[in-house]
Amino acid sequence: MKHIAIIGAGITGVTTAYALARRGFRVTVLERHRYAAMETSYANGGQLSASNAEVWNHTSTILKGLKWMLKNDAPLLVNPKPSWHKLSWFGEFIAAIPRYEANTIATARLAVAAREHLFSWAEQEGIEFDLKRQGILHIYRDRAGFEHAGAVSRLLAQGGLPRRAVTPDEMRAIEPTLAGQYYGGYYTESDSSGDIHKFTTGLAQAAEKLGVQLRYEQQISAVQADATGADITLAQDGGSVTERYDAVVVCAGVTSRALAAMFGDRVNVYPVKGYSITVHLNDEASRAGAPNVSLLDDATKLVASRFGADRFRVAGTAEFNGYNRDIRADRIAPLVAWVQQCFPSVSTRNITPWAGLRPMMPDLMPRVGRGKLPSVFYNTGHGHLGWTLSAATADMIAATVATAFGSPNVTIAATQDLKLA
C-alpha cells in the first residue's frame, strides 16, 4: 500500500486525505497547528458559491484597485511597497486577462461538480456544519453592476450554473430582513452556505476512521524528492527527523510557494488577506433581524451567511500586504457598518473579528496536479473559493495519484474529465 503524505490540514488537505483514503491509500497528514482548519479554513464567509466563480482577471479590477489604493477602508487594498513576489504575481495577473472568460467558465464547472462530493460526504459521515441550502442572493446598487452581472451569468450558464435576475421586490421576498435601496439582484437557488471549520473538523474525524493519521504540531524544516519518493524533515526535540513517503501532496495554503520551490516547482500563490466578523445574535431582535439567505454585495465585495440560530458571518475585502496577519480596525469597521446599514435590527455589540490569508494564484485557478518529480503533487492556490471547490479538487488529485500509483480501491471520479483552464 503506497504511503502518501499531505502537508496541511485545512479544507484542501483534509478533503484530499479523505479522498485518498477512500481509494485505499495509506495517508498521513502533517499540520503545524494543534488542530485542523486553524488558518484560512477557520472563519471565512461560509458560502458554497458557484455563483461567485467569476475570476478577478478583468480590466475593471485593475481600475478599481488604482482608485482604492489610498483608501484604508476600500474593498481592495494594495500595499504600494514593492516586492519581487508581488510584482511577479501582478504581472501574471494582467497576463491572464485574455483567459478571463474561459477561466470563469471552468471555475463554475468545477464548483458545480464539487457540490455532489461535498454533500455526499457530509451525509455519509453525518457531519453537521450549519448547512443552509437556501441559495445565494447577489445584490447590486446600480445599473452598471447589474448589467455586468448579466454578462457573468451567461458565462456561468456555460459552466452549467443557472441563476436568475430578480427585481428589488423579489429580492425583499427572498430575504425580507434586507434593508436599503437596490437596482436589482441575481439569485442562485442551487448555491448554499455552511461553517467551513465545522465541516473540516468533522471530515478530519471521518478520515481518521478510514485510517488516516493526522499529526498536529508538526514543523517542517525541509523537503526534497526524487523519482521514488519524498523526504520530509521535521523539527523535533531540538533536532530533526526525516521521514520517507512514496509521494507527497502539497495542500499548504500560502506556504505552498516556499515548499514548491524546495521541490523545484514554481507555484506562485500570493497571500491575499481577507477579514470577517462573526456577529453573535444574543437577543431575539437580532435573531429575527438577521438574514437566512446568504448574500453577496457587489459594491462592497462582502458576503454574509447565517450559521444556525445565533451566529451571522460577514466576510470579504482583499488586502495585498504580504504575509501580514494583523487584524486591522480600519478594515473591520466597514464590515460592522455594513451590518448596521443592511440589517439595522441586528446588534453588533458582540462580534468576533478574524483575518486569514487566501492562497491565490495569479489567474485565480487552483494548482491541481503533478509537480516536476513523479512523487510530488499539488492541490493548492484556491484563493477565495477554497471552500467551494475543495471537494472537487480533492477528488481530482486523488484520481491523479491513483492513476500514477494504482490503488486497491480505485474509483473513477465524477470530476476526472474536468480540465482546469
Rounded mean pLDDT, 227-236: 96
pLDDT for residue 181: 96
Q: What is the pLDDT of residue 214?
A: 98
Residue 77 in 3-state DSSP? Answer: strand
How do strand 3-7 and strand 26-30 relate by DSSP bridges?
Answer: parallel
Which of 32, 2, 1, 24 has the alpha carbon at shortest distance from 13?
A: 32
Span 323-337, mean pLDDT?
A: 96
Per the structure block, which three cell numbers stand in for 411? Answer: 474509483
Q: List C-alpha distances in Å: 141 to 65, 181, 203.
A: 19, 7, 39
pLDDT value at residue 51? 98
Looking at residue 412, what is its pLDDT?
34
State residue 4's pLDDT score. Answer: 98
Please give the grid coordinates belonging to residue 338.
455594513
For residue 421, pLDDT beyond 60: no
> Average of pLDDT values for 232-236?
95
Compute the average pLDDT of residues 370-389.
97
Q: How many percent of the chain have pLDDT more than 70?
A: 96
Summarize pLDDT for 53-112 with one digit per residue, the tens: 999 999 988 888 777 777 888 888 888 889 999 999 999 999 999 999 999 999 999 999
State the distance between the two ends of the chain, measured CA to CA, in whole angstroms. 33
In this predicted structure, the answer to whether residue 414 has a pLDDT above a threshold of 50 is no
pLDDT at 268 over 50: yes
Average pLDDT of the residues in 239-263: 97
**Could you tell me what percent of the chain has a pLDDT over 90?**
90
pLDDT > 80? residue 413: no
Q: Is the dihedral of CA 307, 311, 316, 321 positive or negative?
A: negative
pTM of the complete model: 0.95
Q: Write out pLDDT tens, residues 105-152.
A: 999 999 999 999 999 999 999 999 999 999 999 999 999 999 999 999
pLDDT band with cut points at 50, 70 and 90 for residue 256: very high
Least confident range of 72-76, 297-301, 351-355: 72-76
At residue 401, φ and ψ (nearest 5 deg) are: -65, -40
CA–CA separation, 34 and 288 (whole Å)? 36
